[in-house]
Chain A
Amino acid sequence: EVQLVQSGAEVKKPGESLKISCKGSGYIFTSYWIGWVRQMPGKGLEWMGIIYAGDSDTRYSPSFQGQVTISADKSVSTAYLQWSSLKASDTAMYYCARLGSSARHIDYWGQGTLVTVSS
């Protein structure tokens, strides 16, 4: 069974750094792209970027380029999303997701990690 298990909810202050994780299991981690999707409170879904777990080839949405870093460690089948300096506007639910074999749709989603940034 394919599973993406994300790290737990975080509460941070503006300016702090953060790295959240997404561990894949039940499939060959290095053969698929993993993406990150943001959902701000009461809002729609926003595609942040993707990483190919096999070689860490990474593509960012221009809206998130320079704001976050996406990485992966294939030795532990885990993808990461990190911030160097959080802002209150980063408060959102963040989902990791696996792209299907065609790499043209998301076929599995993590359960989400809620990030709250507040002073």
Chain B
Amino acid sequence: DIQMTQSPSSLSASVGDRVTITCRASQSISSYLNWYQQKPGKAPKLLIYAASSLQSGVPSRFSGSGSGTDFTLTISSLQPEDFATYHCQQSYRTPWTFGQGTKVEIK
């Protein structure tokens, strides 16, 4: 299976901060990388697909980049509703695998 490793596992940030989360694959996955946001007690929600494509309805402060093994999710200006856990997921090869998640907390 392809292993996905996110860093950091958690971070504290303030409203208005620029936040960057990294996801690394154990082998090249081209651009088959997706990002999801999950709030407590809720189902995940798609933010970014194919490494850098913004899902319809998702605010433009979210962006994704990368290819091969290294990927980044950036929130340009953190808003109160962005405090959540973020998951990366590869869809290059089955079984699809997720990172362990990054929890973004209020500083």
Among residues of A, the one whose C-beta sits closest to the C-beta of B55 is: A107
A62 lies within 8 A of B95 (CB): yes
A106 lies within 8 A of B98 (CB): no
A44 lies within 8 A of B101 (CB): yes
- Whole-angstrom CA separation of A110 from B46 in the bound complex: 13
Q: A44-B99, A95-B44, A112-B43 are in contact. Are A104 and B50 (CB under 8 A)?
A: yes
A104 lies within 8 A of B91 (CB): yes
CB contacts (< 8 Å) of B96 on chain A: these are 35, 47, 61
Interface string of B1-32 (1 = CB under 8 A from A): 10000000000000000000000000000001
Chain A interface main SS type: loop
B63 interfacial by beta-carbon distance below 8 Å: no
A63 lies within 8 A of B95 (CB): yes
Instruction: Tell me which of A63, A104, A109 contacts B44 (CB under 8 A).
Output: A109
Number of interface residues of B (CB under 8 A): 22
Q: Chain A interface (Cβ within 8 Å of chain B)?
A: 35, 44-47, 59, 61-63, 95, 100, 102, 104-107, 109-112
CB contacts (< 8 Å) of B95 on chain A: these are 47, 61-63
CB contacts (< 8 Å) of A62 on chain B: these are 1, 95
Interface string of B26-63 (1 = CB under 8 A from A): 00000010101000000111100110000100000000
B89 lies within 8 A of A104 (CB): no
B97 interfacial by beta-carbon distance below 8 Å: yes
Instruction: Tell me which of B32, B43, B100 contacts A109 (CB under 8 A).
Output: B43
Among residues of B, the one whose C-beta sits closest to the C-beta of A103 is: B91
A45 lies within 8 A of B89 (CB): yes
Q: A102-B49, A105-B46 are in contact. List 19 more A-B contacts (CB 8 A).
A: A44-B87, A44-B98, A44-B99, A45-B36, A45-B44, A45-B89, A45-B101, A46-B98, A47-B89, A47-B95, A62-B1, A100-B49, A104-B34, A104-B49, A104-B50, A105-B34, A105-B49, A105-B50, A105-B89
Q: A95-B44, A110-B43 are in contact. Are A47 and B97 (CB under 8 A)?
A: yes
A106 lies within 8 A of B94 (CB): no
